[in-house]
Amino acid sequence: MARTGKDINKAKELLAMGELVAIPTETVYGLAANALNADAVLKIFRVKNRPEFDPLIVHISSPDKLELYGEHIPEKAKDLAKAFWPGPLTLLVGKKNIIPDLVTAGLPEVGLRCPDHPLTRGLLEALDFPLAAPSANPFGYISPTTPGHVADQLGDRIPYILDGGPCSVGIESTIVGFDKEGGIVLRTGGLKIADIENVIGKVRLRIATSSNPKVPGQLQSHYAPKKKLHAGNLEQLLARYPAHRAGVLSFQKDRHAPFQYILSPSGDTGEAARNFFSGLRTLDALPVEFILAEYVPDTGLGQAINDRLRRASANRELD
């Protein structure tokens, strides 16, 4: 069983030996390995049961490392790194050869991110290699936002969980790629699109919605709980499905359902994002047959929450 603790030196030792360590970030917990060691990276795919066509994000200690691991870096990528790193933003840029092909699933671009969490930044600064890390959940399941979430699902498969408390943002990073015309958002996430556009101007959205994704890993059924999830208007859903058999995920209002989780009583989408994955996990573990969830307002982090709700409610057969 994994030990959980705040010991950066222990995490460093294990990672240097090619072992896996779960690490806290401001978005979600990551399952980390030495990104320059293909054998260590392979363990991530095994432990998560993740297909090898799904590339991993590489976490770096500071914005200056962008040019150490990336190449052909557009000015707009540099501007975003300057404005938002450390933070919930992943930039897709040309991959330097030092990054093994396994990390990017053979793609010519690598996703780089400088995470904003004091423990993990301390760890990255102590290491002489960057960390490849997907979210620390079994492939296709809800991302973890506490050390307990990681221990529940991967505790018997990894040696150590670095305990950085609950994640302050709660949903994954926003992923931005570039072409000649400018920025393209491939996954909505913890950094708002409006904030990105304030720095580099209009971006296009290319969020994959099919089960046969153009961008590997952007599978439609990602983030899914084990129970069937129906997303929509809660009043309509509660009229259609028996409330006593449902786990109800409400944004703000109390629906007086026997099993309910309210994301933000004050109606704040940032608070809702922080609670979102915990709420789904809580309902998934209750004696309910299905989960009924409502879409949240599209403002702030609402768009990113709604994108995850759409994916979580997608046909489970796709998994």
CB of 239 to ligand TXA, least distance (A): 35
Which does residue 55 bind out of Mg ion, ligand TXA, none, counting CB within 5 to 8 angstroms by kind? Answer: ligand TXA
Q: Would you call 175 helix, strand, or coil by DSSP?
A: strand
Residue whose CB is less far from ligand TXA, 100 or 216: 216
Distances (CA, A) of 287 to 91, 144, 217: 41, 21, 31
As measured in angstroms, the least distance from the Cβ of 48 to Mg ion is 9
Smallest distance, Mg ion to C-beta of residue 134, A: 5
Q: Which is nearer to ligand TXA, 54 or 163 (CB)?
A: 54
Minimum CB–partner distance for residue 209 and Mg ion (Å): 17
110 binds, among ligand TXA, Mg ion, none (CB under 5 to 8 A by kind): ligand TXA
The beta-strand segments (E) located in 50-205 are: 57-59, 70-71, 89-95, 109-113, 131-132, 160-162, 174-179, 182-187, 204-205
Q: Residue 155: which of ligand TXA, Mg ion, none does it interact with, CB under 5 to 8 A by kind?
A: none
Question: Letter for the amino acid at 137?
Answer: N
Nearer to ligand TXA, 56 or 273 (CB): 56
The partner in contact with residue 133, picked from ligand TXA, Mg ion, none with C-beta cut-offs of 5 to 8 angstroms by kind, is ligand TXA
Q: Least Å distance between CB 162 and ligand TXA?
A: 12
Q: Which residues contact 81 (CB under 8 A, 6 or more apart)?
A: 63, 66, 89, 91, 114
**Residue nearest ligand TXA (C-beta atom):** 217
> Site residues (CB under 6 A) for ligand TXA?
25, 27-28, 30, 54-57, 90, 92, 104, 107, 109-111, 113, 115, 133-135, 172-173, 175, 215-218
**Cα–Cα distance, 39 to 96 (Å, whole number):** 18
Residue 303 CB, nearest distance to Mg ion (Å)? 18
Nearer to ligand TXA, 133 or 249 (CB): 133
109 contact, one of ligand TXA, Mg ion, none, CB 5-8 Å limit per kind:
ligand TXA
What is the strand order of the sheet 246-250 is part of? Answer: 228-232, 290-294, 246-250, 260-262
Can you give the binding site for Mg ion, defined by CB under 5 A?
A: 135
3-state secondary structure of 64: helix
Residue 7 site contact among Mg ion, ligand TXA, none (CB < 5 to 8 Å, cut-off depends on kind): none
Q: Give the distance from CA 111 to its chain's centroid.
A: 13
Q: Which two tokens stand for residue 140?
A: 């296709």
Give which of Mg ion, ligand TXA, none residue 86 binds (C-beta under 5 to 8 Å, depending on kind): none
Rounded CA-CA distance 21/19 in Å is 7
Q: Where are the beta strands (DSSP E) in 245-297?
A: 246-250, 260-262, 290-294
The minimum distance between CB 289 and Mg ion, in angstroms, equals 26
What separation, in Å, do the N-terminal and C-terminal C-alpha atoms of the chain show?
27
Beta pairing partners, 160: 3, 21
